[in-house]
Amino acid sequence: MKRPSSALAVIGLVFALAFGAFAGAAKAQEEISESHLQAARDLVTNAGLTQSFDGMVPRITNSVAGRFVNRGMPSGMIREVIDELQPELELQRRVILNRAARIMANRFTEEEISEINAFFESPTGSKYIDQQPGFVDDILTTTGEWTEELVEYVEVRMQAELSRRGAEAAE
C-alpha cells in the first residue's frame, strides 16, 4: 500500500532526528548563524526531505485547481494561472525548507550538522537516500499491519479479562 509523500517527510525527519540523537544532542540556540542555517538547509536537502516538499506543491495545486474546475471555472485559464504562480510557489517551497532547516539547526550544532551531511554525502548516505522511499513505505505498511494486529490483540485480551471478571456487554 502506497502512502502519501507527506508521510515520507515526517518519517524522513524522524529518521534524521533519530540519527542526530546518536551523533550527540545539540544545544538549542536562540540565534542561528547564517552558516549554521545554510548547513541545516543542506542537511534537509541531503537527507532527502525536500523530495516530499516538492511533491506536495503539485498535489496541493492540483487539488485547489480541481475545486475551481468544480465551481465551473475554465480549466485552460486555471492552467495558465498555475503556470504563472510557479515563481511564487517556489518561494513557498523555500519557506518550508527554511522552517525545516531552522528545526534542524535548533537541535544540532553546526559541527554536528556537518558530520551528518558528510554521512549523507558518502556512498552509504547516498544509498540511504536512494532506498529511503522504499523502506519508509515498507515501514508505514508494516506499522499499519501491526496496528491492526494490536487492536485485535487488545480487544481479545480485554474481552477475555472482562469475561473472566464477570462483566457482560450491554445489548
The 8-class DSSP code of residue 2 comes to -
Helical pair 50-70 and 75-107, crossing angle rounded to 10 deg: 150
Single-letter code of the amino acid located at 50: T
Question: Full-prediction pTM beyond 0.85?
Answer: no
Please enumerate in sequence order all residues whose Cβ is within 8 A of that of 162, keeping only pairs 6 or more positions apart, or say none. none
pLDDT tens digits, one per residue of 6-22? 455 545 555 555 454 44
pLDDT at 54: 85
d(Cα 8, Cα 135) in Å, to the nearest integer? Answer: 10
Point out the residues of the chain with pLDDT beneath 70.
Answer: 1-30
